[in-house]
Structure 1
Amino acid sequence: MKMNKFWLLSAFLVFVLVLAGCGNGEDDTADDGAEEDATETEEDGAEETTDDGGEAEGETPDFLTLLTGGTSGTYYPLGGEMASNISNETGIQTDALSSNASADNIVDLQNGEAELAMVQTDTVAQAVDGEGAFEGEEVDNVLGLGSLYPETVQIVTTADSGIESIEDLEGMTVSVGAPGSGTFYNAEQILEIHDLSMDDIDAQNLDFGESTGGIQDGNIDAAIITGGTPTGAVEELSATADLRILPVEQDKIDELIDQYPFYAEDTIEAGTYGIEEDVTTVAVMAMIAVSDSLSDDVVYDITAAIYENADSMAHARAEDITVETALDGVGIDLHPGAQNYFDEQGVETD
């Protein structure tokens, strides 16, 4: 009986010791887990802080938007090809979107609704200076990436319209471009030089396709179209009608350039749209404007993608997109990323 009590007491003591050991193990595990959680939290916090700081200095976006113009003009098809090259070369998905072109594109860049835009050099210069359509409202967050090609002012009518000069537009129904487009402001300036205004014509705010469609249907008499030649909508019209492109006379060209230095003399060559003789006119440059929110590295890569792959594009105006002429007519500050690229190529700023 005494032996039985002894064994019972021994077993009880062993059981207590085992329980104590288990209890200490659970406490250690809980402490270890708390320490690991605390360590992970501190590390996560440190990583988050580092990442946020890095993104603020040079974030690479997943997507980019390139604003172009109307689907019947030059901007849209050419912009689509450039967007493809940017996507392929940088790995950043870039989409080309149709728009009302220059002035509206600048406003969208200013408001952060896009990162890249095709614009006219004259319009973006006015925006930065707070002139023209941007009177008193300077745009201070849009920079230049580079120029592309000459945009020719084409004053289009039909051979049987009876309109032979710009002065003959008085009293006529004339498309002057979509509201907010560079074409609209070119129309104002061309009319002004010829002692006319929007009040002297029946002005219609139509895009290129609507303009040439209106001429074909007889609803409008003429259209002022600023775009790289040949412009798709005008080519389509020339397939169904004999066209006349109104010239800008030399004295008016000189007067226009004197008052608005961003213009240059230009020629629409015989054979274009089926015309029989060269037509003298004026042009501004198309260019790429960019939001200053993009990092230098991203803009450097975009610039390289555009100018080093222009020969892969099918559009006729692509042959004008060269590194050597990329700074022609750019009247605003370049983005540092674009400046770095052109510095490496040995291209000097005008």
Structure 2
Amino acid sequence: MLYSNRRSFLKTGAAVTTAGIAGLAGCTGGVDEDTLRFNFVVPIENLGSLLDIPEIQDQLDNLGDEYDLEVSQDASTPDSINSLAAGEADMALVTTQSFGGAVVGDAVPDGLTAIATDFWDAHPDHFGFEIYSLPDSDITEPEDLEGQTLGVNATGTGIHAVYLKMLQEVGLSEDDVDFQEQGFPTFMEGLQDGIFDAAIFPALFAVGPRNEDFTEVFTSHDAYDGTYPFAFTVATNNALDEKSDAVEAWGEDYVNVVNYMFENRDEVVSLAAEHFELPEEQVDEFFLTEHDYYRDQIEIDHDALQATMDELNDLGLLDGEFDAEENATNEYIEDHL
């Protein structure tokens, strides 16, 4: 079985633009039709990353027989979009704004299709992205962000969109703040060193500021009216055409991994913490608890996806309309749910 883990998590991401990747169009890579190349951003909370763990791979029926897998870690979902556009990846974990922007901007040759939902944000009983300032900061509510420097892993992402949605809710705009791009693991240090004044934390990394009594400025629960699909596994349409059998086999394995993690939560916490070299207590505190995202629905809800993309378009975060029916399908996982 071909197995690779190339990590670049701490490097700074960059926003996706059509011009920025125009020179990449047409690249297809040189990987055979039985090999799927999958990119993710945040380990463990991006569920596809769990397929990178050898002990979990051993539980799968198809990996190694029906397809091989190469897993790579990126600093941001725009980086993953760039890899898809360059023909360096077949599948990736992406978030709302990155996905919608790539589709609307024709950023990836032959297009992208969402084939599974990874998680939902802002569920009332689950985690919503948390924005913190220092424990003794005067920045205590969204209005206080005016004129401040804000930590973000990359602009042009769903994380970035959470900021922009909240800013618009309180009458501010992107011009009223300064975004500083940096890797998630460095955000607490960035606040302490004065690199930025507030930072947004995904579930895995929100454990630190929450336990150290940093000041919660707002969460995505405050920005959004209700739960919405936030992250998806997408595949290039070229991969769906050229590697359809491999993607079908991956879909079965993905569903099995999700079922396995719910049934063997403590084991997965230990395996994942060791594999990704993270403190087990940090993983244990968030994974599949109230401090984790809503994960009970991994199939695509086309109406919810469409509503989310329509909202991003209305907010001026997309440069055109997105069609969920044309750019998302459950056919690779529905028979295994």
TM-score (norm 1): 0.59
Query: One-letter code of the match for 1:339?
Result: E
What runs of 5+ residues in structure 1 fail to find an aligned partner? 1-58, 254-262, 267-282
CA contact 2:130–2:219 (8 Å) conserved in 1 = no
- Map residues 238-253 of structure 1 onto 2, 5 A cutoff: 238-239=210-211, 241-247=212-218, 253=223
**Structure 1 pair 216–319 and aligned structure 2 pair: CA distance change class (3 A):** closer
CA contact 1:296–1:335 (8 Å) conserved in 2 = no
Classify the secondary structure of the residue corresponding to 2:226: strand
Residue 254 (structure 2) pairs with residue 306 (structure 1): yes
**Structure 1 pair 141–102 and aligned structure 2 pair: CA distance change class (3 A):** same
- Percent sequence identity is 22
Equivalent pairs counted in the alignment come to 246
Query: One-letter code of the match for 1:74?
Result: E
**Structure 1 pair 340–64 and aligned structure 2 pair: CA distance change class (3 A):** closer
Match of 1:148 among 112, 115, 118: 118
CA contact 1:70–1:207 (8 Å) conserved in 2 = no
Classify the secondary structure of the residue corresponding to 1:174: strand
Match of 2:80 among 98, 105, 109: 105
Q: Which residue of 1 aligns with 2:186?
A: 210
Please, what is the CA RMSD of the aligned residues? 3.3
Residue 33 (structure 2) pairs with residue 61 (structure 1): yes
- Map residues 101-250 of structure 1 onto 2, 5 A cutoff: 101-130=76-105, 140-151=110-121, 152-225=128-201, 227=202, 231-239=203-211, 241-247=212-218
What runs of 5+ residues in structure 2 fail to find an aligned partner? 1-30, 122-127, 262-267, 270-286, 307-323
Query: One-letter code of the match for 2:157?
Result: S
Q: Distance in 1 between matches of 2:191 and 2:232?
A: 29
Residue 284 of structure 1, CA deviation: 4.3
Q: Which residue of 1 aligns with 2:49?
A: 80
Q: Distance in 2 between matches of 1:206 and 1:180?
A: 14
Classify the secondary structure of the residue corresponding to 2:218: coil
**Structure 1 pair 326–341 and aligned structure 2 pair: CA distance change class (3 A):** closer
**Structure 1 pair 70–339 and aligned structure 2 pair: CA distance change class (3 A):** closer
Match of 1:297 among 227, 234, 245: 245
TM-score (norm 2): 0.61
Classify the secondary structure of the residue corresponding to 1:114: coil
**Structure 1 pair 139–166 and aligned structure 2 pair: CA distance change class (3 A):** farther
**Structure 1 pair 67–222 and aligned structure 2 pair: CA distance change class (3 A):** same
Q: Distance in 2 between matches of 1:70 and 1:180?
A: 16
Q: Distance in 2 between matches of 1:104 and 1:97?
A: 11
Residue 166 of structure 1, CA deviation: 0.5
- Greater Rg by CA: 1
Q: Distance in 1 between matches of 2:220 and 2:246?
A: 44
Classify the secondary structure of the residue corresponding to 1:309: helix
CA contact 2:39–2:93 (8 Å) conserved in 1 = yes
Q: Distance in 1 between matches of 2:108 and 2:248?
A: 26
**Structure 1 pair 150–335 and aligned structure 2 pair: CA distance change class (3 A):** closer
CA contact 1:292–1:335 (8 Å) conserved in 2 = no
Classify the secondary structure of the residue corresponding to 1:246: strand
User: Which is richer in helix?
Assistant: 1
Q: Distance in 2 between matches of 1:248 and 1:238?
A: 12
**Structure 1 pair 334–304 and aligned structure 2 pair: CA distance change class (3 A):** farther
Q: Which residue of 2 aligns with 1:90?
A: 63
Residue 299 (structure 2) pairs with residue 326 (structure 1): yes
Q: Distance in 2 between matches of 1:285 and 1:68?
A: 14
